[in-house]
Amino acid sequence: MQLESRKRSLVFGDFNLDLLVTDIDVKRYVHALEEAGFKILNKIDKQYTTRQTAATGTILDHVSTDLTKNHFKFALLDSSSSDHKQIYLELSKYRSQTKQRIQYEAVDYENLHKGINDATYTNEENKYDYLENFINTHITDSKIYKTKIMNLPRDDWINKEIIDMINRRNLLWQQIKADKRNEALKNKFIVERNKVGKRISADKSKYYYNEFMKCSNSPKKMWNLINTLAANKIKTTCAPPKIISDSQVITDGTKSFLPGVSSDAIVKYVACKRFS
């Protein structure tokens, strides 16, 4: 219970389990630590025994932690008062990751609705392009800037290297949109896109394999993991493929539909397109 409530922990002491021995008790002990997300900091080697006698050398004194991303300095010191060696452990200072704030454009739908209601709309030639320009103009006038606090990434297959690769790919895509005829830039983007896809696929497979292996000896934890992974919510979209007015499907400007399109229908159409 203490280890679950304390997210960052160091556990150390004399466990009377010799890590140099591969019996069933030691294996269960190591598996229990791995299932809890802990790793042993001791070097499992006869050169690094923590209890030394004239006839035997054992590793009974262990240090384990769930701070898997921190660096440690680990040393064994001889003691004149005990046959157990003293353990010196130095932990690098923990720096919590701050949340990133970004600004982004958003549409103020109240202003959009008010602007379309107050606008004078006429289109005697019934051109679809005119309606599209009318909507885009009011969307541009209704844009505002918002600040979003980015949540920290979960400790799963997402890591800094993948995020950097995704950012590089997205930057190339922005450059392509500004210079669509640059074939060299397109080829560079395709290479980076394929590299990101392969890296994500490999890291996800490795992560989920390791997660299931940690639960191989615990059916309860296995089912908890399965239930967690299966808790994905299905996203739905309300974006209509075409505008519908007066029970008629509008695909181009040949129908006499523009005078009958209300401002509510335009705003709903824009909202659906924005969230599709």
More confident residue, 81 or 252: 81
Q: What is the mean pLDDT of residues 167-188?
A: 89
- Asked whether residue 224 is assigned to any structural domain, the reply reads no
Q: Do 134 and 258 belong together in one domain?
A: yes
Q: Indicate the range of 58-67, 122-131, 133-142, 185-194 predicted with least confidence.
A: 122-131
pLDDT tens digits, 109-138: 888 888 888 888 887 777 888 888 888 888
- Asked whether residue 162 is assigned to any structural domain, the reply reads yes
Cα angle 255, 258, 259 (rounded to 5 degrees) comes to 120
Asked if pLDDT for residue 19 goes beyond 90, the answer is yes
Asked if pLDDT for residue 259 goes beyond 50, the answer is no
Asked if pLDDT for residue 59 goes beyond 60, the answer is yes
What is the pLDDT, as a whole number, of residue 272?
52
- Asked whether residue 96 is assigned to any structural domain, the reply reads no
Q: Is 63 exposed, middle or buried (0-12, 13-18, 19+ CB in 10 A)?
A: middle
The top-scoring range by mean pLDDT among 90-94, 124-128, 246-250 is 124-128
Q: Do 148 and 163 belong together in one domain?
A: no
pLDDT confidence bin for 209, thresholds 50/70/90: confident
Q: Number of folded domains in the chain?
A: 3
Q: Do 12 and 54 belong together in one domain?
A: yes
- Asked whether residue 182 is assigned to any structural domain, the reply reads yes
Q: Do 18 and 70 belong together in one domain?
A: yes
Asked if pLDDT for residue 62 goes beyond 90, the answer is yes
Q: Do 77 and 201 belong together in one domain?
A: no
Q: Do 43 and 120 belong together in one domain?
A: no
Q: Indicate the range of 32-46, 168-182, 257-271 predicted with least confidence.
A: 257-271
Q: Is 87 exposed, middle or buried (0-12, 13-18, 19+ CB in 10 A)?
A: middle
What is the pLDDT, as a whole number, of residue 226?
81
Q: Do 25 and 82 belong together in one domain?
A: yes
Q: What is the mean pLDDT of residues 17-24?
A: 92
What is the pLDDT, as a whole number, of residue 275?
45
- Asked whether residue 171 is assigned to any structural domain, the reply reads yes
Q: Do 274 and 163 belong together in one domain?
A: no
Q: Indicate the range of 5-9, 44-48, 131-135 predicted with least confidence.
A: 5-9
- Asked whether residue 99 is assigned to any structural domain, the reply reads no
CB 65 within 8 A of CB 3: no
Provide the token pair at 74.
Answer: 């680990």
Give the start-end residues of each E strand in 36-150. 39-40, 51-52, 57-58, 61-65, 72-77, 86-91, 100-107, 143-150
Q: Do 203 and 171 belong together in one domain?
A: yes
What is the pLDDT, as a whole number, of residue 241?
43
Residue-range definition of the domain harbouring residue 185: 156-219
What is the pLDDT, as a whole number, of residue 126?
79
Chain centre to alpha carbon of residue 259: 47
Burial 22-46 (b: 16+ CB within 10 A, else e): eeeebeebbeebbeeebebbbeeee
Asked if pLDDT for residue 24 goes beyond 90, the answer is yes
pTM above 0.85, yes or no: no
Asked if pLDDT for residue 243 goes beyond 70, the answer is no
Q: Do 115 and 144 belong together in one domain?
A: yes
pLDDT confidence bin for 97, thresholds 50/70/90: low
